[in-house]
Amino acid sequence: MAFLAHLESVVTQVEGSVACSVMGFDGIAVETFQAPQQADYASQVELSSAWVEYGNTLSQLKTGAELLKAGAVSEVSVNTEKLITLMRMVTPEYFVVLALRPEGNYGKGRYVLRVTAPKLKAELQ
Amino acid sequence: MAFLAHLESVVTQVEGSVACSVMGFDGIAVETFQAPQQADYASQVELSSAWVEYGNTLSQLKTGAELLKAGAVSEVSVNTEKLITLMRMVTPEYFVVLALRPEGNYGKGRYVLRVTAPKLKAELQ
């Protein structure tokens, strides 16, 4: 399971990336790649706390969506003053999350997660 | 309070818009503009049910974010197979929500909500 190479590729491709992780819906990260030069920033914004909170949100949305006619949730983003967070479903048990600085490339982040999710899914099977 | 003109302007500007609404965190819409030609689609995806669910999510994130170092939540999007939903905070009590068809213009939707939120805020005061 070569997750790390895929996560590093996401961080390298998307300007403003802080870190990228494959997480389970239990809130535990399977693998994380952190941009080396952004370690201080990740610590400053307490990235792991934010991810646990947002992961809970995604989990609730996933469950709630089963009752909705709008269909299954594929992608959620949560943007704050200091952090852009993009999340995309990989399997029913796992999702990929990318944190960017506020000035990061949001559109490219969405695109790169979309093309990376199937690669991560293949590794998980 | 001329909300409707602002909401209509959002729907007109953003390709693929289904409806745009100013909502309170109690889940009640203050005002809604629905694209006339998308009424069947809004009904098919049960838009109002989805918005109540997503509004709850935004409310939880807003509360949770007070404990996080990443700062206050400004924008959340939830994308499913059949619906793109963009939400942006207007005041601590109200947010604006825009629903797009999956092929809608996501980037333009974000931009237009960003410039419209201060106008809505001015109407609310």
Of A50, A76, A83, the CB nearest to B78: A76
Q: Output the average pLDDT for chain B.
A: 92
Residue B59 has pLDDT above 80, yes or no: yes
A18 has pLDDT over 60? yes
For the record, the structure tokens of A53 come out as 């909170």
Q: Using N-to-C axis directions, what is the helix angle for B106-124 and A106-124, rounded to 10°?
A: 120
Give the span between the Cα atoms of B122 and B74, in whole angstroms.
Answer: 17
Q: Is the ipTM of this complex over 0.85?
A: yes
Contacts A–B by Cβ distance under 8 A: 109
Map A31-48 to HEC letters.
Answer: EEEECHHHHHHHHHCCHH
- Number of domains forming the structure of chain A: 1
The predicted-structure confidence for A37-87, as pLDDT tens digits, reads as follows 999 999 999 998 888 888 888 888 888 777 788 888 999 999 999 999 999
Give the pLDDT band (50/70/90) at residue B1. low
Question: Is the CB of B75 less than 8 angstroms away from the CB of A75?
Answer: no
Contacts of B65 in chain A (CB under 8 A): 53, 80
Contacts of A19 (CB under 8 A, 6+ apart): A11, A32, A33, A34, A35, A38, A42, A47, A98, A99
Rounded Cα distance, B18 and B24, in Å: 19
CA A48 – CA A29 distance, rounded (Å): 9
Read off the pLDDT band of B23 (50, 70, 90): very high
Averaged pLDDT for residues B102-107: 96
Domain range spanning residue B86? Answer: 3-124
Confidence check: pLDDT of B91 > 80: yes
Q: What residues 7-36 of chain A have any CB closer than 8 A to a CB of chain B? A: none
Within 8 A of B81 by CB-CB distance, chain A residues are: 70-72, 74
Cβ neighbours around B115 below 10 Å, total:
11
Residue A98 has pLDDT above 90, yes or no: yes
The more confident residue out of B108 and A125 is: B108
Q: Please tell me the distance in Å from B118's CA to the nearest CA on chain A.
A: 16
Q: A24 φ, ψ to 5°? A: -90, 160
In DSSP terms, A98 is beta-bridged to A20, A86
Query: CATH number, domain at B28?
Result: 3.30.450.30
Facing A78 at nearest CB: one of B61, B83, B106: B61
Minimum-distance CB partner of A45 among B69, B82, B106: B69
| Range in A64-73, B2-11, B24-33, B69-78 the model is least confident about | A64-73
Q: Do A69 and B53 touch (CB under 8 A)?
A: no
Through-space distance between the first and last CA atoms of chain B, rounded to whole angstroms: 9
Interface residue B40 vs chain A (CB under 8 A): no
Token readout for B45 is 């995806």
* Contact between B107 and A118 (Cβ < 8 Å): no
Interface with B, mutate which of A60, A68, A75 (most B CBs under 10 A): A68
Give the residue among B21, B60, B74, B84 at the shortest CA–CA distance from A78: B74
Q: What is the mean pLDDT of residues A27-42?
A: 92
- pLDDT for B22 equals 95
Residues, chain A? 125
